[in-house]
Amino acid sequence: VVVAKGFRAPAGICLDPSGKHILVADSLAESLTAVTAGVPGAEVDETPMPVETAVAFPDLQWEGWKGETDDGKPNPQRPIVLTHAGDGSNRVFVADEHGVVYVFPNDPKATKAKIFLDLRDRVVYDDKTNEEGFLGMAFHPKYKENGEIYVFYTTRKAQHTNVLSRFKVRKDDPDRADPASEKELLHVIRPYWFHDGGAVCFGPDGMLYLPLGDGGSANDPFDNGQNLNTLLGKILRIDVDHKGDGKPYAIPKDNPFVGRAGARPEIWAYGLRNVWRMSFDRKTGQFWAADVGQNLFEEIDLIHRGGNYGWNRREGLHPFGAQGTGPRKDFIEPIWEYDHDVGKCIIGGCVYRGDRLSELNGYYIYGDYVTARLWALRYDEAKGRVVANRPIADRGKAMFSFGEDEKGEVYLLSGSLDGKGIYGFVRKGS
């Protein structure tokens, strides 16, 4: 596609500092021309979104927690999951990375977050290894009937080991789960303490999906992303309602690698570095994942059955490392990427389907942990591309995760010493 013409002897090009123009040097004309950086007919709307973040529950007090230890040291709260039970109660559940799950009414005036489940006796977390800890939680689609909760955490029982477990709510108190009801479903041993993944979610099909990072260290040294004989660097899909082959879960018959020699049948998609986080669009069922990059690029992917997303041959839309390659038919490219001048650690979110902000409807809300920047991204299914990536004003706080309540409102989770790390989205200036 011709973007500009009429140059006599173009001698070199580069981006201007804003990244919005290409500068073209013409040696014969002795000129420097600015050309809009973009493909005609494939423009991306980057106008600021007229929304911002605001503390969602300003009066909330968290049972058993305070921002200072008994010996006067800071004790920051690290909310890592915000979700709902899908049972019509409209309650909000927030899990802390240390291993405590809280519950409270979905009311801006709520004053008390009660402990729903306390797993600090079995979850290991340390600020020096801060990709471990309590990492994921999801309520069974039939929670109202069976009371089942699924969690993913790093266990104290063994080094570098994550556990997927099922718990049940107490029959005598809907605001308390029973810590003694734990049933361990899956153990994952990693070579290093980072790249744990861990977002747990149920798909529209009722299956449980779980992303696992490549196991850590730089460059994926064991080539886990491309090795179908390991669960690392993958998204798994299992049936928690049945059992089979001696496992406390079953393998769905339509999983892409069922019956394939040398491949783990739990795998749904592979070639991923460290998905943080993933979600299903509650309206369309589209499966979104944000994959944290290494050297240069962060990416957003749409996950498809059996898809290979290229790591560690690709990082974003680019070759990576000694085995790096250009685009290949067997690799699924990300729908969006940004480089490390923009941000260095993507935090995946959710597609907004709430009622409060019509201007956000259908946008995927995500951000960056390092730069604390926020965006609303829109993907046009018919065009097969991103048509908007609009910045959202924020208060400059690094985010750990995103979540959504039973009504589809999206929240941002951030660390805090005052317990006010849960942010909602409001119209700017409201």
Q: How many CA atoms lie within 13 A of 253 on its CB side?
A: 0
Helix (H, G, I), strand (E, B) or coil at 128: helix
C-alpha span between 32 and 403 (Å, rounded): 47
| 52 φ/ψ angles, rounded to the nearest 5 degrees | -150, 175
Where does the pLDDT of residue 261 fall: very low under 50, low under 70, confident under 90, or very high at 90 and above?
A: very high
Q: What is the pLDDT of residue 19?
A: 82
Mean pLDDT of 20-48: 92
Number of C-beta neighbours around residue 3 at 10 A: 12
Mean pLDDT of 136-155: 98
Where does the pLDDT of residue 3 fall: very low under 50, low under 70, confident under 90, or very high at 90 and above?
A: confident
pLDDT in tens, 269-328: 999 999 999 999 999 999 999 999 999 999 999 999 999 999 999 999 999 999 999 999
Mean pLDDT of 385-389: 97
Q: Classify 312 in phi/psi space as left (phi over 0), alpha (psi -120 to 50) or beta.
A: alpha
| 144 φ/ψ angles, rounded to the nearest 5 degrees | -60, -30
C-alpha span between 313 and 224 (Å, rounded): 12
Asked if 101 and 137 touch (Cβ cutoff 8 Å), the reply is yes
pLDDT for residue 113 is more than 80: yes
Max Cα separation, the chain? 84
In single-letter form, the type of residue at position 223 comes to D
Q: What is the pLDDT of residue 326?
A: 96
pLDDT for residue 92 is more than 80: yes
Q: What is the DSSP string of 258-284?
A: TT-TTS-TTEEEE--S-EEEEEE-TTT
| 105 φ/ψ angles, rounded to the nearest 5 degrees | -65, 145
Q: Where are the beta strands (DSSP E) in 303-408?
A: 314-315, 318-319, 336-339, 346-351, 364-368, 374-380, 385-393, 399-404
Q: What is the pLDDT of residue 232?
A: 98
Mean pLDDT of 369-392: 97
Q: What is the DSSP letter of 398?
A: P
* pLDDT > 90 in the chain, percent: 94
Helix (H, G, I), strand (E, B) or coil at 145: helix
pLDDT in tens, 37-89: 888 888 999 999 999 999 999 999 999 999 998 899 999 999 999 999 999 99
Q: What is the pLDDT of residue 39?
A: 81
Q: Name the residue among 145, 402, 407, 425 with its Cα closest to residue 283.
A: 407
C-alpha span between 193 and 198 (Å, rounded): 13
Asked if 411 and 56 touch (Cβ cutoff 8 Å), the reply is yes
pLDDT for residue 173 is more than 80: yes
Number of C-beta neighbours around residue 18 at 10 A: 7
Please give the structure tokens belonging to residue 57. Answer: 């529950």
Where does the pLDDT of residue 396 fall: very low under 50, low under 70, confident under 90, or very high at 90 and above?
A: confident
Q: What is the pLDDT of residue 40?
A: 81
Please give the structure tokens belonging to residue 10. Answer: 């173009």
pLDDT in tens, 331-375: 999 999 999 999 999 999 999 999 999 999 999 999 999 999 999
Q: Which residue has the tokens 């009371």?
A: 147
Mean pLDDT of 98-113: 98
pLDDT for residue 430 is more than 80: no
Type and span of the H or E element at 144: helix 143-146
